[in-house]
Each structure stands twice: as structure tokens, then as C-alpha cells.
Amino acid sequence: MVSGEMTSFRLELAKLNSCITEFSNRVDIIEERLSSLEQQKAGSSLNRDDISHEVVTQLRSELNDREQECFSNDLEISGLAEKSGENVIQIVTLVAKKIGVNLQDVDIVSAQRSGPRRDTLSSGEQPRPRPITVRLTRRALRADMLRAARVRRGADSSSVIDGEPRRFYVNERLTKLNKFIFFKAKEEGRNKDWKYIWTKGGRIYVRRTFDAPVHRVRGEGDIKKIFGDS
């Protein structure tokens, strides 16, 4: 049993390393192409034959997709108060236990607060806690966590961290661009009374009602097409 788990772990780790290497290589290639295209666009006086904005957008989208693929074993946990000296890996295992998943320390490749530490507000209020980004050894564990979080939606931080119980959220980890697009889609969805806005496999989907067609949102242009101009 242990030997089989170690083999599975090594395979997943090899996939992650391969993904990171491929992503790094493609970043270099795409950034070179993007820089070249933007220089051509800036130095050209022609409009009709100029490099189109769609080409640049496509390159950025391709780069974003590759980055999202590297997050296929990752989760983001938000809403948990942050304290100095906290044991983040222990917090993650307790979150898993809270939602009904048996997660061990060895199942976690890494876990840390994401982004720079936030200063206390001038009003004296505590800043919004940074989310915890988690990389697991296997995609199956990630799927178990996401599924359990949906079933136990509304779970709070009692028995996870000290202090007043607050609701926490377990979601897919998104790239910076996808996170922005998802935020904009939710904002427009609330304004236009769309009921369903979600992510799956790093992709963003929306649907007005339960039996309405599903739309995939790839960028801000899709938000305008789907929801209409504000």
C-alpha cells in the first residue's frame, strides 16, 4: 500500500515538474513573440495591416492557460484569520477534517499564505486575512477536497483556529488573470441577476438559470458579449 502511494506520488510530482518546466519554456517563447509583436505595432503607421489586438490577446490567453495547467493540484482556502507563528500545514489538515476529508501532512507538497502581509488599517481594524494556497500530491485529493467543500458549504472555522467562528471557503487556485475575470463575471452576474457562476478545472462558466445554456468566460470580451454592456 505504501509502495503504491509512493509510486503515485512520484508520478504526480514528475507531472508537476514537467508542467513547470514546459510552462517556463513557453513563457520565454511567448514573451519574446509578444514583445516582438508589440514593437511592430508601436513602430507601424499602418492601421489596416497592423498587428491586431486579437493576436496579442490570444498570446496572453495561451500563456494564462499554461499557467493554469500548473495549478491542477492546487487549492485556495480563504476566510481564515491569520496569526503570527501559525502552522499552516496543520490548519490545512484541520480544514480537511472539518469538511470530512482525511488529509495527512504527507499529502501536502506545500501550504502558505499567498501575497505580502497586510498592515493593520488606519481605523485599527484587522486587515482581511491572506488566502492559503495549497499544493497536494494528487489531483484525486484535490477533487475530494473541492467536492467535500461543496457538500459542506457554510462550514466555519470552529475547531480549525481559535477565535470567533467565521465561514471559510475552499476553491480552485486560479491564475491572477482568471481570478480577475472570475471576479468581473460574478460582479456582472449579480448586476444582471445570473444565478450560476462557477469554475471547473480552472475554467470559468456562467448560466442565467438552472435550465439555461452554459457559457464559458475566457476574458473581458466574453463578459461583454454574454452579459451585455453595463
DSSP per position, 115-138: SSPPPPPTTSPPPPPPPEEEEES-
In angstroms, what CA-CA distances link 230 with 184, 192, 201? 12, 9, 28
C-alpha 102/C-alpha 140 separation (Å) is: 13
Q: Are strands 215-217 and 203-207 parallel, antiparallel or unpaired?
A: antiparallel
Provide the 3-class DSSP secondary structure of residue 37. Answer: helix
In the three-class reduction of DSSP (H, G, I as helix; E, B as strand; rest coil), residue 196 is classed as: strand
* H/E run at residue 109: strand 108-113
Confidence (pLDDT) at 49: 44
Instruction: Show the cell assigned to 196.
Output: 450560476
144, 87 contact by CB (below 8 A): no
Q: What is the distance between the alpha carbons of residues 194 and 186, in angstroms, rounded to a whole number?
A: 9
In angstroms, the CA 188 to CA 54 distance is 23
The C-alpha cell that represents 46 in the structure block: 499602418
Q: Which residue blocks in the chain are alpha helix, DSSP H?
A: 2-43, 53-69, 88-98, 139-151, 176-192, 220-227
Q: Where are the domains of the chain?
A: 2-69, 74-172, 176-227
Give per-residue pLDDT as tens, 41-89. Answer: 665 554 544 555 666 677 788 889 889 999 999 999 999 999 889 999 9
17 CB burial (10 A radius; 0-12, 13-18, 19+): exposed
- Side by side, the strands of the sheet bearing 196-200 are 196-200, 203-207, 215-217
Q: Under CATH, which number does the domain 74-172 receive?
A: 3.30.70.1820
* Distance separating alpha carbons of residues 149 and 55, to the nearest angstrom: 39
Which regions in the chain score pLDDT beneath 50?
1, 46, 48-49
- Residue 27, pLDDT score: 62
